[in-house]
Structure 1
Amino acid sequence: MKWSDNTTLTIVIIGAINWLLVGIFRFDLVAFLFGNLSWLSRIIYTLVGLCGLYLISMYGRIRSSAE
C-alpha cells in the first residue's frame, strides 16, 4: 500500500474509534480534546470524512488487483 493509503486508513480508524466512543459512552473524544465544534475539531471531522471518501477508491483497486 502507498503511504497515503496507510495515512488515510489510520485517520479513518481513529474516526471510527471516536464514533464507537460516542455510540457506547456518549463521549466525543475530538470535542473533549479540541472543543465542541471549534474550528480545530471541525477540521478534524472534515479530514476524517475526506479520508473516508478517498478510501472508497480502494474498492476499485482491490477488485483490479484480484483479477
Structure 2
Amino acid sequence: MNVLLGISRVLVIIGGLNWGLVGLFDFNLVDSIFGAGSAASKVVYIIVGVAALVLILDFIPRESRGRTQV
C-alpha cells in the first residue's frame, strides 16, 4: 500500500504542476506531449484522477475502514 500511495503522490504532484502551467502560461504539458484530445492524454488524466482518489481514501482513518460503528 505504501508503494501505491507514493506513486499516487507523485502523479498528483505532476498533475498539479500541469494545472499550474495551464493557469500561469496557458500551456498544457500533457496535451503538448500526447496531443490535445488524444486517447493517450485521456489515459494520463484518468490515471492522475485515480491517484487523487487513492489519496482521498488515505485520509480516511484506517481504524474505521471496513467497520461500522455501533
TM-score, length-scaled by structure 1 = 0.86
**Paired residue total:** 64
Summarize deviations over 1:4-59 as a string: whole Å, max 9, x none: 10001100100000000001100000000000010000000011011101110121
Question: Which protein has the bigger helix share?
Answer: 1
Q: Which runs of 5+ in 2 are unaligned?
A: 65-70
Matched, 1:29 2:29: yes
Larger radius of gyration: 2
Root-mean-square deviation over aligned CA pairs: 1.9
- For residues 14 and 33 of structure 2, the distance between their equivalents in structure 1, rounded to whole angstroms, comes to 14
TM-score (norm 2): 0.82
The gaps in structure 1 that reach 5 residues or longer are none
Runs of 4+ in 1 over 4 A off after TM superposition: none
